Structure 1
């Protein structure tokens, strides 16, 4: 807790000094100058003591449960005045260094036994778990001679996820049945898997293994089994966390571009019934076993949000060996 002289006290001291210079030329002024100096010192000392007696305000901060990198969110801050007099304060919340926020410093009055609600927008540019420090308060003393600097409230943390907006845009297009805008074209690829699709009439060129003899005997005509491309596949996404991924491409790094692409691939794969697993290499060795279902997108997000690059080079041979140890089932691997 620090005390700082205000501009009012500095102005009075300058005025008192100028009176002292004038008093050196006129002996009659020196007595009044000394009395005035003593009174000013007494009032300044008394004001400093009173500043330490008054109760400190309280700070309550409410952070959102999660935020997206580069997307504006709102933080709620409440300053509660516990004293029986109005106080003039300067407020600067303990916001992270890499963020955009134009609200602070805020200055104003808080009525006695009242509170101030300060809800401010903030944009965080760094993914991962971001910390908020204590709230900085600059309180003006009763006579206005001093400013008392204190830190109140608690530290806070919020999870910042990659920007999920492109995936949401895809979801909106899919719900509107406009898959042609996403580049997805559905084609039947017969004979490439053994996933049964439907029964149909026999066509010239069908192999004998396709004929369903039981159904044919019932209908007294040849019936063939139709197969569709296997949907329940395992998609393994390998994420390079090596130092070369730190290169800036546009406004964000290549690493963040890869994360955004992985989110989109994960969403498409989970939506069509495939399993998605994630393996990282290049200094960050983490493994997410394959998960399935659209509800598993939350699991993927929670796994990816705090990934960071490392200063180490990437070893693709070692990464392939790790993948074979973790995933022995046939899978499609995306690097």
Structure 2
């Protein structure tokens, strides 16, 4: 009996240590675990045993003490066994998960969990979903009381921080026994595959703002539309920003409302994105990598270009060409761009610009707007970018997009110009001056250059595209 009591006390002590150390209770493989209450009860029983042993050593009857020990152990075992039987079985529970199987990077997504309980007794439990480590869930778990033969629904939001394919296979339940002496871990299989794409919700926001002439809210400037009388597209209501020369006076008199003629820009042009997926794009800005910002900007500009009737394609490369999307027009082309980019991640390798531009020359011979999005931090890298972009001048219209590093600008703008900060600011200023010379050289050699922070890339790239269309540069 003494051995049983000591074993129970030792197991309770281990459970207390498990709770105190913050183990994830939902990942334990045990079926039934003593709760904190059971640990306290067992500890009290062990203390009572020690008191009885002390009582026996002072000359009392050992027979009486032995019977008291037997009774106490039997009471502990009986209560524990009775409470253990009250634990519900796994077959009494079912779970369902309702969520979209397509998610956008850094955009919250709603998840609905439905738990059905078919047992005969009320039960208290804690539920936790199998959220991937690359997601942030709020809240992470739920505590609830379920009545017999009932169903409950809980809601939470998860936010993916990485692109790619993920699986959610299990809903974990931690069920308490009737007297809360025992806990049971139940795993309910609920399989869902989720694909996390670059930010797609920005496309719907752009379309909505475009219909309501509010694109300035996302940083897109209004560009003067160009075209001749034979490029007439449609009539629409006059707005304050319209040129009064485009007012159609006959339609205005007929409708008794100012009406302007809208002209269409040139159609069926080609845009090729060249996205660097090498080590230069591994830095992070605003919580995501530079490559993620590049994909977001590519999709937004591609969406705008497809709406203009242009053809859009992409070349994704690092030390080799990973994906090639031939330039095509039509709404279905967005799906090809999405599927090509959602599972691409920056590699810690040197990018092979020679292979990427050779692939471009082989597969894209018609004049196109070639948009190279990369980052430069040394002369070797910048020399390659300049060399290969300038070779496109005349045959294509090259646009080099160089992403800024906020840390360099912060170091150069530091107000504490003394000690190590002074040397750090001087080094940053030298790098920025060199970077300015690189951009100037590109411009002098006929290459369009865009130097922006990663967070501002999308709006600036769309503005640059609209300006190219308006000036008929392509």
TM-score range, shorter chain: 0.7 to 0.9
Cα distance change, pair 97–53 in 1 and its aligned pair in 2 (3 A) = closer
Following TM superposition, by how much is the alpha carbon of 1:316 offset from its aligned partner in structure 2, in angstroms?
Answer: 0.6
Task: Tell me which of 45, 62, 71 is aligned to 1:16.
Answer: 45
Cα distance change, pair 86–297 in 1 and its aligned pair in 2 (3 A) = same
Residues in 1 aligned to 2:332 and 2:212: alpha-carbon distance in whole angstroms: 20
Equivalent residue for 1:224? none
Residues in 2 aligned to 1:21 and 1:188: alpha-carbon distance in whole angstroms: 95
Contact 2:161/2:288 (CA < 8 Å) preserved in 1? no
- The runs of 5 or more residues in structure 2 that have no matched partner are 1-29, 57-63, 233-263, 373-474
Following TM superposition, by how much is the alpha carbon of 1:303 offset from its aligned partner in structure 2, in angstroms?
Answer: 3.1
Equivalent residue for 2:223? 185
Task: Tell me which of 67, 78, 100 is aligned to 1:42.
Answer: 78
SS of the residue aligned with 2:313? strand
Cα distance change, pair 231–2 in 1 and its aligned pair in 2 (3 A) = same
Residues in 1 aligned to 2:133 and 2:163: alpha-carbon distance in whole angstroms: 13
Contact 1:233/1:274 (CA < 8 Å) preserved in 2? yes
Residues in 2 aligned to 1:63 and 1:41: alpha-carbon distance in whole angstroms: 45
Task: Tell me which of 91, 94, 102 is aligned to 1:55.
Answer: 91
Task: Tell me which of 232, 244, 247 is aligned to 2:268.
Answer: 232
Contact 1:24/1:30 (CA < 8 Å) preserved in 2? no
Q: Deviations over 1:78-117 (max 9, x none)?
A: 1111222222111111111132223233222111111221
Task: Tell me which of 337, 340, 353 is aligned to 1:300.
Answer: 337
Equivalent residue for 1:83? 119
Equivalent residue for 1:204? none
Following TM superposition, by how much is the alpha carbon of 1:130 offset from its aligned partner in structure 2, in angstroms?
Answer: 2.5
After TM superposition, the structure 1 = structure 2 runs for residues 218-257 of structure 1, keeping only pairs within 5 Å, are 230-257=266-293
After TM superposition, the structure 1 = structure 2 runs for residues 110-149 of structure 1, keeping only pairs within 5 Å, are 110-149=146-185
Cα distance change, pair 247–148 in 1 and its aligned pair in 2 (3 A) = same
Residues in 2 aligned to 1:73 and 1:179: alpha-carbon distance in whole angstroms: 25
Question: Structure 1 residues 315-324 or 124-133, which shifts more?
Answer: 124-133
Contact 2:271/2:369 (CA < 8 Å) preserved in 1? yes
After TM superposition, the structure 1 = structure 2 runs for residues 170-181 of structure 1, keeping only pairs within 5 Å, are 170-177=206-213
Residues in 1 aligned to 2:69 and 2:106: alpha-carbon distance in whole angstroms: 60
Give the strand-richer structure, 1 or 2. 1
Task: Tell me which of 333, 354, 360 is aligned to 1:323.
Answer: 360
SS of the residue aligned with 2:322? coil
Q: Deviations over 1:201-233 (max 9, x none)?
A: xxxxxxxxxxxxxxxxxxxxxxxxxxx974211
Equivalent residue for 1:288? 325
Cα distance change, pair 177–154 in 1 and its aligned pair in 2 (3 A) = closer
- The runs of 5 or more residues in structure 1 that have no matched partner are 191-195, 199-227
Following TM superposition, by how much is the alpha carbon of 1:277 offset from its aligned partner in structure 2, in angstroms?
Answer: 0.7
Equivalent residue for 1:212? none
Q: TM-score, normalised by structure 2?
A: 0.58
Question: Structure 1 residues 115-124 or 153-162, which shifts more?
Answer: 153-162
Cα-Cα RMSD: 2.7
Give the helix-richer structure, 1 or 2. 2
Q: TM-score, normalised by structure 1?
A: 0.80
Task: Tell me which of 343, 360, 370 is aligned to 1:333.
Answer: 370
Equivalent residue for 1:222? none
Residues in 2 aligned to 1:54 and 1:32: alpha-carbon distance in whole angstroms: 38
Following TM superposition, by how much is the alpha carbon of 1:29 offset from its aligned partner in structure 2, in angstroms?
Answer: 5.0
After TM superposition, the structure 1 = structure 2 runs for residues 60-75 of structure 1, keeping only pairs within 5 Å, are 60-75=96-111
Cα distance change, pair 229–81 in 1 and its aligned pair in 2 (3 A) = closer
